Amino acid sequence: MADMPSARPTAVHCYGIILHHRRRWWLVGFPDLDGTPTAAYRLTGRLTSAMATRLGHDADDAEASRDIAMIQQGSRCWSGEFSLSPARDSANAFDIGAHPWGAEASEREERLARVMIDSTLHPLPTGFLSILSALPQEDRPVLAIRLSGYSSSIFELLTARYMPTHRPRSPWRDVSGDAISDSGDDILGWTPAEDWIRPV
């Protein structure tokens, strides 16, 4: 799985999802439409000055005109083609330098983008497979892992089933059949753990 860029990032051009998640803006890169994300890039939340000028924003109000929200006003998640430029005043972060086209992100794209960001911020413990690299056998109980919503721990473990055929919009289900997303964050990874779960 790709990680966040290291020191002194270089310019990036890719198809991806712009998303406001975990109190900041991100670009999650995808190799193509309906693909699996490959990297999460921290954004400053700003456009480059050149892009703001191309969009015709008011140069007298420099900060407002460079706000990333000016691209898709009222939206906190959208897809498109982007060029990123390393920020001069923020290490390992980028400004948006070009955005030739944009569209509404699909539910799947948004969900996988969140997973990519969370997995980048908090790499999975040894022994767990990322859902971005492998998925379990359908409807087979596994031990799943996601971020905890509590301050006492980073991760939370739960028994879950992956059911894309019957529940394509929310495929991860708990053992009772309820959507995992109803009770917390997205599933980031899993492990068979058959000796513990003993599926039948």
pLDDT of residue 8: 55
Could you tell me if residue 141 is inside a domain? yes
Asked if 65 and 29 sit in the same domain, the reply is yes
Task: Tell whether 31 and 76 lie within a shared domain.
Answer: yes
107 and 16 within one domain: yes
Tens-digit pLDDT profile for the chain (200 aa)?
444 545 556 888 999 999 999 999 999 999 987 789 999 999 999 888 888 877 765 545 555 557 887 787 778 899 999 999 998 888 789 999 888 788 888 888 999 999 999 999 999 999 999 999 999 999 999 999 999 988 899 999 999 999 999 888 889 999 899 999 888 899 999 999 888 888 87
Q: Is residue 2 part of a domain?
A: no
pLDDT of 74 = 79
Residue 1 lies in a domain: no
Render pLDDT for 141-178 as a digit per residue (tens, 0 to 9). 999 999 998 889 999 999 999 999 988 888 999 989 99
Long-range contacts of 21-30 (CB under 8 A, 24+ apart): 21/113, 21/114, 21/117, 22/117, 22/118, 22/121, 25/68, 26/113, 26/117, 27/82, 27/84, 27/94, 27/96, 28/112, 28/113, 28/116, 28/117, 29/2, 30/109
Q: How far is CA 81 from CA 3, 32, 68, 103, 114, in A?
A: 20, 10, 14, 9, 18
- 52 and 138 fall within a common domain: no
Per the structure, the complete domain to which residue 151 belongs is given by: 122-197
In a domain, 181, yes or no: yes
Q: Is residue 6 part of a domain?
A: no
HEC string for 120-148:
HHCCCCCCCEECCCCCCCCCCCEEEEEEC
Number of structural domains the chain divides into: 2
pLDDT of residue 1: 46
The one-character DSSP state at 9 is P
**8 Å CB contact between 115 and 186:** yes
